A and B are shown apart, each in its own frame.
Chain A
Amino acid sequence: MEEKDLIRLSQEGGQEAFSLLVEKYKNRVFHLALSMTRNREVADDLAQEAFIKAYLALPKFRFQSEFGTWLYRIAVNLVKDHLRKTGKRKEISLEGLSEQAAVLEGEDLRREQDEIAERRRNLVHKVLQSLPLKHQVILSLRDIQGNSYEEIAQILNISSGTVDSRLHRARKLLRKKMGPFLIQEGGRYAMSRN
């Protein structure tokens, strides 16, 4: 059955049809929430809430955009609300991270590749969470989820040009905040080593 038919049936209250839509999109919604919250339990709750909201709002869905884009917009707004409610952006302690970096430097990088990659990820994501919300969102959508510029424009209801400029600013800011951990002349943490 085509997606449009599933949506129409779900709009008429068909939970079986909606379960097929859930099956199709649950991973993307969960990983979107996970990329922004870095907490599996919270991401699972937010993903469930996104599908509940979508189901209740389905009669208002007019097929003017892709269902996935519409669902993603609901999920992004939910995650943004959650992050706003749970407090300010996470302030990263540069000192703490420098210590972590120093520990990493002392390890045998070749033997502990996986662990190092994991720590790198944690480091970048920690810094990501300290960015303004709109920058977090656009980096999550593009660099973590891999959405195209056009998809992001539709999800956030902004132009492709705005996606381009906002993404550029967000990446620059992320790199700037990563500055102390990047390998440079005299840098302590070999972020750019592979």
Chain B
Amino acid sequence: MQCQETERLLLRDFDGLLTDQQKNRLEIHLGGCPACRLRQKEYGAILRALKPEPSEIFPNFWERLQPKLKEREKAAPWAVIRAWSLRAVPLSLVVILLILVTMIFVLPSREKELSQTEALLLRNENPYLDTKALFEESRLENKNMMLIFTAADEQSPSRR
């Protein structure tokens, strides 16, 4: 094992992250390498010195914090409103969607009645076609028959 790899392993060893196999390899290398043993000692000393010294937090932390919180809330009401609006927007969208779905599926739909002319125009048919045929009929008998049929079938917009 190279010294470079040993350095990585010994640092991971300080974190307790080595497997038994890695630990064995590290110990074997350290046993025969004074430079790495010194390095291990130095890292140990540095990491021990980094450990936090006991230090008490200043007293009345919350009592000092609370007025600042109130002050900042007042000073930045728009920030608070904006933050809350982030929650309000999706909620409003859901409510609007629910109302729309209710209107479409639950409320009874009112049928809109079309006039005969509108119905024919909607089907792209000429509303005057039947009337024209009636006027163009020369035989009186046929004309009468056509008028009778039209009267009998008033519901059909195509037969006028």
- Identify A19's interface contact among B38, B55, B62, B76, CB under 8 A: B62
Write the nearest CB–CB distance from B84 to chain A, whole angstroms. 5
Whether B52 and A144, one on each chain, are in contact in the complex, defined by CB atoms closer than 8 angstroms, is yes
CB-CB under 8 A for A171 and B73, given A34-B55, A60-B86, A124-B50: no
Encode contact with B along A179-194: 1 for CB under 8 Å, 0 otherwise: 0001110000001111
Q: Is B107 an interface residue (CB 8 A)?
A: no
- Count A-side interface residues using an 8 Å CB cutoff: 52
Write the nearest CB–CB distance from A177 to chain B, whole angstroms. 10
CB-CB under 8 A for A44 and B58, given A121-B53, A123-B49, A139-B50: yes
Q: Is B46 an interface residue (CB 8 A)?
A: yes
Q: Is the interface of A mostly helix, strand, loop or mixed?
A: helix
Taking beta carbons and an 8 Å cutoff, which residues of B are in contact with A? 7-8, 11-12, 15, 38-39, 41-47, 49-53, 55, 57-58, 61-62, 64-66, 68-69, 72-73, 76, 79-80, 83-84, 86-87
Query: Can you give 25 A-B contacts (C-beta < 8 A)?
Result: A31-B57, A34-B52, A35-B52, A40-B58, A44-B58, A47-B57, A51-B69, A52-B68, A52-B72, A56-B83, A59-B80, A59-B86, A60-B83, A60-B86, A120-B49, A124-B49, A125-B50, A143-B51, A145-B52, A164-B12, A171-B46, A178-B42, A191-B46, A192-B44, A194-B45
